Amino acid sequence: MSILAGLRVIDCATYIAAPAAAAMMADFGADVVKIERPPHGDPYRYLSLVPGMPESETDYCWILDGRNKRSVALDLEKPAAREALERLVARADVFITNYQPETIRKFRLGYDELSAGNPRLIYAYLSGYGEHGADVDVPGYDMTAYWARSGLMSSMHNADAEPCGSPPGFGDHPTSVALFSAILLALLQRQSTGKGAKVGTSLIANGAWSNACLLQAALAGAKFVPKWTRKTSVNPVVNHYVARDGRRFILCCVNPKQDWERLCRAIARDDLIADARFATATGRRKNGVALVSILDAAFACETLAIWTERFRAAGVIWGGVPSAEDVAKDEQMAANDVFVEVDHPRFGRLRTVNSPMSVHGVDKAPPRAAPEFGAHTAEVLREAGFSDAEIQALTGELV
């Protein structure tokens, strides 16, 4: 049996960060009910249609984070729908939302209101900019709150390049892990106290945590060096290069006592080991332009496949720089269940990205296809004690 089997979770959230935390709970067996507002449901269903996104007939974003959930359509503008949600929450263990404060106030979805009818409720709140301060009501997306506001965007580009946008969900999915963890802490606390709790995190806090080394430097008053380009790198042995076949890779030689000699032997340039210009980290920094030029010439002589063999033989720490299409074929990821299969009613057998944690000896719930909008409304309401007449009055449809 999965670890979270028997837990009831209400996913009353939109887009990625908060719903992804619910998806992880479903991966471990929780019964997750997704509340969606008519007429179109969660806007995340349609993110793959945004200009600039990879083009596909599949709603691949929804496939990823909507899996293993049941969809209930409730128009919270209607008092009867709000009461129905309240009845569902009264039976739930966890309520997850990322609604704006104004919306939470409008629909009376705050912790105090919902926990009054369910003192054991774990209320998990995901915000863009936190729950205090001048920006508490500002809508936050991962690109704005996590990527840009945290300083990551300004840090992650070379001197000869402009800042770039982040990939879709770049900050959302790491943030979802934080929210998932907070929920589990509250569930653990509930075992001893019998009481629920409100937990939360924010995109801006997780962006700061991801950028914590540089932010700690700033907090400590460190002096930041000017940005550099790939060819003028201040640390040429932690830099990316291009092999003869045009494939990119990055060196990560951070141990000066052994990595320099290993790299020199890998490129068959033992003469560089004791070269006064490069023998020390200080020398490599001072003569970075010359060293990058030497390494560029060396790496241009062989394909990445050859360099892979040589780096492994010499013990050089490096990594490929593949495209998303290449990563989807990564055998190492496949061997470690990073990708799992799911049967889709329209598109057949597909693979999706697994959640990034495991418990030895415990199987996750087999992935089920993400639901169609409102597909489980009658089923879930009936389980909660609604009569067919009540369900028909609420939905306007015969059941």
Place of tokens 């979770």: 9
Residue the block writes with tokens 């790491």: 174
pLDDT digits 0-9 by tens, 86-115: 999 999 999 999 999 999 999 999 999 999
Does this model's pTM top 0.85?
A: yes
User: Amino acid letter at 380?
Assistant: V
Residue whose C-alpha is closest to residue 100's, from 141, 41, 148, 45: 141
Q: What is the CA radius of gyration of the chain?
A: 26
What does the pLDDT read at residue 10? 98
Reply yes or no on whether the pLDDT at 24 is more than 70.
yes
Mean pLDDT over each residue of the chain, to the nearest integer: 96
Closest among 95, 91, 94 to 187, alpha carbons compared: 94
- Residue 8 parent element (H or E): strand 8-12
Q: Give the mean model confidence (pLDDT) for residues 276-305.
A: 97
Please report which confidence band the pLDDT of residue 148 belongs to, taking 50, 70 and 90 as the band edges.
Answer: very high
The answer, yes or no, to whether the previous bond of 39 is cis (omega within 30 of 0) is yes
Q: Is residue 180 over pLDDT 70?
A: yes
Give CB contacts under 8 A, 24+ apart, made by 306-313: 306/243, 307/243, 307/249, 307/266, 310/266, 310/267, 311/266, 313/266
Residue 229 has pLDDT above 80, yes or no: yes
Q: What percent of the chain has pLDDT over 70?
A: 99
- pLDDT above 60 for 203: yes
Predicted pLDDT of residue 398: 56
pLDDT for the residue 399: 59
For residue 174, which of 365, 355, 364 has the smallest C-alpha distance? 355
Instruction: Express each pLDDT in 341-398 by its tens digit.
Output: 999 999 999 999 999 999 999 999 999 999 999 999 999 999 999 999 999 988 876 5
Q: Residue 153 in contact with residue 166, Cβ under 8 Å? A: yes
Nearest Cα neighbor of 84 from 125, 18, 35 is: 35
8 Å CB contact between 320 and 331: no
